[in-house]
Amino acid sequence: MDREKIRIAIDGPSGAGKSTIAKAVAKELNIDYIDTGAMYRALGYKLAGKGIPAIESPELLEVLDNTDIDFSEGNIILDGVVVNDKIRTPEISKMASDVSAIPIVRKKLVALQQKIAGNKSVIMDGRDIAEVVIPDAEYKYFMTASAEERAERRYKELIAKGEDVTFEKVLSDIEKRDYNDSHRAASPLRQVEGAQLLDTTGMSIEEVVNHILEEVRK
């Protein structure tokens, strides 16, 4: 693509397909993809490993100041170690949701996300991208799908990975996480003005990817 900088922000609840779509769009446009949820997950994973609860405390601040989170070739790197699969368990999902509600954590990770995005073309997904991280993004989407469909997708993923879960538990976890993410005081999940609603219920990955590509390539 031979055009000036393009920044694409994708926000929405978990399981809406944000990361799958963002990855595919990034590949087509040959731009970087930044999975900001993975950053909250990596921090949650580190805290869980140290037995530090997700509440603001001197121990948590100490970890926050001494943690290095980065991306390299599609991998998420925590303190120099690839943690891709370790951060995708139901326990770490809950921990990530809890740490992401702490204002000082958001401040630090948002600053890091803005630094990683730098001054280049990127597609970034999360909950507060259009509102806080890149408010001047050229394209903004609020991607969602019914809670049942999102739970169905997540359930299949977890079963494929050999996790021992039931559909009911996955659905209730998703509903709890939706509630937490959209009712917290710090940057609650919401569709901002100027963001296009993309309801992916019943849509294939290809359909959603093509929809975005058509707009960006216009």
- Across the strands, what pairs with 199? 144
In the beta sheet, which residues pair with residue 124? 9, 34
Verify binding: residue 158, ligand DC, rule CB under 6 A: no
Binding window for ligand DC (CB under 6 A); candidates: 94-102, 139-147, 195-203, 206-214: 94-102
Joined together, the tokens standing for residue 119 give: 């001054």
Quick one: which of 24, 43, 46, 128 contacts ligand DC (CB under 6 A)? 128
Running DSSP on this structure, what letter comes out for residue 133?
A: I
Task: Report whether 29 contacts 121 (CB < 8 A).
Answer: yes
Q: Give kind and range of the element (H or E) at residue 92.
A: helix 90-99
Our CA angle for 100, 103, 108, nearest 5°, is 80
User: What's the DSSP call for residue 203?
Assistant: -
SS3 call for 116 = helix
State yes or no: residue 181 binds ligand DC (CB under 6 A): yes
Shortest Å, Cβ 96 to ligand DC: 4
Instruction: Rule CB under 6 A: say whether 126 interacts with ligand DC.
Output: yes
Of 21 and 37, the one with the shorter C-beta distance to ligand DC is 37
Q: Closer to ligand DC at the Cβ: 154 or 216?
A: 154
In the window 38-77, what residues touch ligand DC (CB under 6 A)?
38, 40-41
Q: Does 127 bind ligand DC (CB under 6 A)?
A: yes
Residues of this chain that bind ligand DC (CB under 6 A): 14, 36-38, 40-41, 96-97, 100, 126-128, 177, 181
